[in-house]
Amino acid sequence: MRAAYYEKLGPAKDVLKVGDLPKPEPAAGEILVRVKVSGVNPSDVKMRMGTSSAANEYPRIIPHSDGAGVIEAVGENVRKDRVGQRVWLWNARWQRAFGTAAEYVALPAEQAVPLPDAVDFEAGACLGIPALTAWQAVETDGGVAGDWVLVQGGAGSVGHYAVQMAKLKGASVIATVSSPEKAKRATEAGADAVVNYKSEDLAAKVKELTASRGVERVIEVDLAANIAKLPALVADYGMIVVYGSGAREVPVGFGPSILGNLGYRFFIVYNQPPELRRQAIAELDQWLTAGQLAHPIGARFPLAEIAAAHEAVESGRVNGHVLVTID
């Protein structure tokens, strides 16, 4: 099979190769998926560079956790009627050497989720890390119904889903962005207000919109960059939900946090408890079937240009999901 892989850590153009590798066989409890589209996430870049705690070095690695395709074969103890099923994939590369940047991937059967007929493979490849992260950020610790929610990076892969999901769950949403183009995307996702953090006073805007109360929840993409400003944005007993940070060690102001009765919720989507993941997948399926989620694609690359796909993610300039088409 054709696959992208690397055998050492480093820059995309230096280490990523595309070539022929043995086609995998599904073990007991596994399925074999013919991959149509593979999704590229920042964590895939960090793993390849060795800057992530999830680098998991193996002698040879096929990157990417997310993807979508068709089940071609099943191992023992898996229902035979799953063959031919259209599916989206999650955690293909988590604690495993071989991910979705290949014509085929074998993985545990529960990590292949039926894809509704009306949802195409490109949308399916967007779901794993971004949609499951956004769902947990919105749903954790009591949810957001009736609350004001601030989504940092509201046009990003996770942020765009978080805006949509928070609105679907009855919240009012403020999204931060860095450009007019991204403001348009966050507005289209349903944000009630959009703030360009480079040119506008976010604290003043939050104060104005919430009658000086502050938001009940912040969904935070970069704790290191924003921690100093967060206490002033959050309502008394509000929650700061963190799924990302530009630095691993972040000083938290004790005084502002305790005086504001702030809660901090950290989580990593790879380690979602099974019951929580089942809830997320069930609700995602309802929204997908009803056509209630948008999946904006920022860039597409063929498998032969996987290094360029990784560089696009690293640049941070792509407005939408970055995909690698396998066919």
The pLDDT score that the predictor gives to residue 319 is 86
Domain 141-266: CATH architecture, name and number where available: Alpha-Beta Complex (3.90)
The 10s digit of each residue's pLDDT in 151-206 is: 999 999 999 999 999 999 999 999 999 999 999 999 999 999 999 999 999 999 99
The 10s digit of each residue's pLDDT in 64-93 is: 999 999 999 999 999 999 999 999 999 999
DSSP character for 27?
-
Q: Quickly state the pLDDT bin for 134 (edges 50, 70, 90).
A: very high
Q: Quickly state the pLDDT bin for 55 (edges 50, 70, 90).
A: low
Spatial neighbors of 97 by CB under 8 A, at least 6 apart, are 56, 58, 59, 60, 61, 62
Residue 252 has pLDDT above 60, yes or no: yes
Alpha-carbon distance of 91 to 64, in angstroms, equals 8
Q: Quickly state the pLDDT bin for 119 (edges 50, 70, 90).
A: very high
The pLDDT score that the predictor gives to residue 57 is 74
Q: What ranges do the domains of the chain cover?
A: 2-129+273-325, 141-266
pTM for this entry: 0.96
Residue 56 has pLDDT above 70, yes or no: no
Residue 251 has pLDDT above 90, yes or no: yes
Query: Percent of the chain beyond pLDDT 90?
Result: 95
Is 2-129+273-325's fold the same as 141-266's?
Answer: yes
| CA neighbours closer than 13 Å in the CB half-sphere of residue 261 | 6
Q: Quickly state the pLDDT bin for 124 (edges 50, 70, 90).
A: very high
The 10s digit of each residue's pLDDT in 283-323 is: 999 999 999 999 999 999 999 999 999 999 999 888 899 99
Joined tokens for residue 327 = 């066919």
Q: Does domain 2-129+273-325 have CATH number 1.10.3300.10?
A: no
Alpha-carbon distance of 65 to 41, in angstroms, equals 8
* Extended strands (E) in 109-207: 112-114, 148-151, 172-177, 193-196
The pLDDT score that the predictor gives to residue 53 is 61
Tell the residue number behind the tokens 């099979």, with chain if given.
Answer: 1
- State the chain's mean pLDDT as an integer: 96
Strands 30-40 and 66-74: antiparallel
